């Protein structure tokens, strides 16, 4: 089992009909390419191959989006992918769907680019201000 390799194929379609894989380490979500020993890129697809032992004690998070952009996250142990003939196939009985995104609120995406980190932090501050303002308006009008 520990000598096996797992392969994933990601569809790069942004937030419409795409699938993206992350490895959860504590409350941090790290892109799967950090674990890959082979990456094959074609038009809209990217294939990542990595040894099972690199992720054997971690959680795989599959972010999928419907064609309307509705997100759903599935958390799986790596064992769910062992022995599957297709890269998108896994043992659903071992996984948990988390389509209520509030359950994932504590998770942080790992960002490798310092400029991107500053942009995300600035956006969070702005959105928090909007959120607080919206809550105040709701309170005033009795919603």
Tens-binned pLDDT, residue by residue, of the chain (143 aa): 556 888 888 876 655 667 788 898 888 888 888 889 999 998 878 888 888 888 888 988 888 777 776 777 888 888 887 766 555 567 777 777 766 666 666 777 777 766 766 766 766 677 677 667 766 766 777 76
Euclidean distance between CA atoms 29 and 107, whole angstroms: 7
The conformation of residue 142, written as its DSSP 8-state character, comes to T
**Domains in the chain: boundaries:** 5-110, 111-143
Angle at 59 between CA 69 and CA 26, to 5 degrees: 100
- List Cβ neighbours of 46 (8 Å cut-off, separation of 6 or more): 9, 10, 12, 39, 40
């Amino acid at each position: 089992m520990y000598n096996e390799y797992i392969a994933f194929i990601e569809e790069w379609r942004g937030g419409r009909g795409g699938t993206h894989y992350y490895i959860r380490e504590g409350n941090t979500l790290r892109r799967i390419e950090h674990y890959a020993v082979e990456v094959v890129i074609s038009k809209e697809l990217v294939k990542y191959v990595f040894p099972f032992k690199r992720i054997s004690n971690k959680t795989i998070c599959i972010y999928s989006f419907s064609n309307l952009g509705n997100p759903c996250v599935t958390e799986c142990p790596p064992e769910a992918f062992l022995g599957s003939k297709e890269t998108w196939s896994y043992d659903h009985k071992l996984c948990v769907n988390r389509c209520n995104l509030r359950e994932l609120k504590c998770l942080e995406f790992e960002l490798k680019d310092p400029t991107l980190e500053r942009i995300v932090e600035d956006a969070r501050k702005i959105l928090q201000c909007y959120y607080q303002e919206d809550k105040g308006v709701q309170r005033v009008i009795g919603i």
